[in-house]
Homo-oligomer: A and B are copies of this chain.
Amino acid sequence: MTALSELDTPAALIDLGRMQRNIARMQKRMNDLGVRFRPHVKTSKSLPVVQAQMDAGAAGITVSTLKEAEQFFAQGMTDILYAVCVSPSKLDAVLALRRQGADLKIITDSVQGAQAIAEFGRRHDEVFEVWIEIDVDGHRSGIEPTDEVLLQVGRALHDGGMKLGGVMTHAGASYDCQSETQLVAMAEQERSRCVQAAQRLREAGLPCPVVSVGSTPTALSAQMLQGVTEVRAGVYVFFDLVMHNVGVCTLDEIALGVLTTVIGHQQNKGWAIVDAGWMAMSRDRGTQGRPKDYGYGQVCTEDGQPLTGYQMTGANQEHGIVALAAGVDAQIATRFPVGSRLLILPNHACATAAQHPGYKVLDKQGRIEDWPRFYGW
């Protein structure tokens, strides 16, 4: 049995108890709100994590790449939403997965895209199920609910012989919320605008059985979800400092950290140098310019107790700088001697996890298990 103290560093460490509580909290919320829950597997890209989400009651998965669809379909998961507008060149791969039995849904937000899907489908005698992406907050993709393009896309799909399965949206602007009032309002904005889009399609005589919304902040803040059939969220499974800033998790709910070892000091600057740089943390500076800027991460003891004020203040490829964010700790070399170990909580769990070929998973008995993850496209 490997002990925490024997792990090579840097390592992506999952606190299993925290992860399980995060999963249970979200699933209970969705059950109470009366909607299906379709977790986004792009955060973990790891079967045991996703299996735990399914075991808790999730209905289907959301993916950001066809690689994720292929990997999880190979593990027996069939109900899959590919939640990035499909490029025409990927339709061959989508078709191959559907022909193997995957109930893979795709999305589009343009007439060009819808026509390309419909033409490809007819040419290959395949009725693709397509959902239309709705823009509820101006942050990225999608069609505004009142835009005339919405009905054009709906008709291009439906009249083109495809299955118009529904509408979906992601309120990415929720990451900018800074109070519970803002979060509740953003969740309602996401719900109401996506439902409005569905109603417009239905009023035009088009089918729209599914209304799918979601982001971790809105999923955890919605007061009611009338008209919504399912919710999607990803990062809640681990949480991170961005989510802590948004206000939807406490520091001790963050289930992912990077274990690192002190390899040197610059005493006059108050720096400890550690063997986790941006290769282990990612370059994500998602808390920059936010209520609390955590640099490249919050420093904790090896067993996860936050060391208030200590951050990873700088990062090179395989070097991190650990220091007091404000002021100089003249005792840094005796506080964190060469060989001592720290845990760094990440700004953005999706980005940090992506840097690692696998997770080290720490259970309540102090045992360590290896969970693989994949990457690429």
Contacts and interface: CB of A to CB of B under 8 A. Distances in A.
Contact of A110 (B11, B284, B338): B338
Contacts of A319: 84, 140-141
26 contacts: A9-B87, A9-B89, A9-B377, A10-B377, A64-B279, A64-B317, A86-B263, A87-B262, A87-B339, A110-B265, A110-B338, A112-B337, A113-B264, A113-B338, A116-B338, A140-B316, A140-B321, A141-B266, A141-B273, A278-B284, A280-B377, A282-B283, A283-B283, A354-B355, A357-B376, A375-B375
Interface in A296-343: 314, 316-319, 321, 337-339
Interface of A is mostly: loop
Interface of A: 8-11, 42, 64-65, 84-90, 93, 108-110, 112-113, 116, 135, 140-141, 172, 261-266, 273, 275, 278-280, 282-285, 314, 316-319, 321, 337-339, 348, 350-351, 354-358, 375-377
B42 A264 contact: no
Contacts of A317: 42, 64, 350-351
A357 B357 CA distance: 11
Interface centre among A88, A89, A93 (most CB of B within 10 A): A89
The 4 closest A-B pairs by CB, nearest first: A283-B283, A357-B376, A112-B338, A87-B261
Copies of this protein, total: 2
A68 to B, nearest CB: 10
Given A89-B261, A89-B339, A285-B285, 16 more contacts: A8-B89, A11-B377, A42-B318, A65-B318, A84-B275, A88-B338, A88-B339, A110-B338, A112-B339, A140-B314, A141-B266, A141-B319, A278-B284, A283-B285, A317-B351, A375-B375
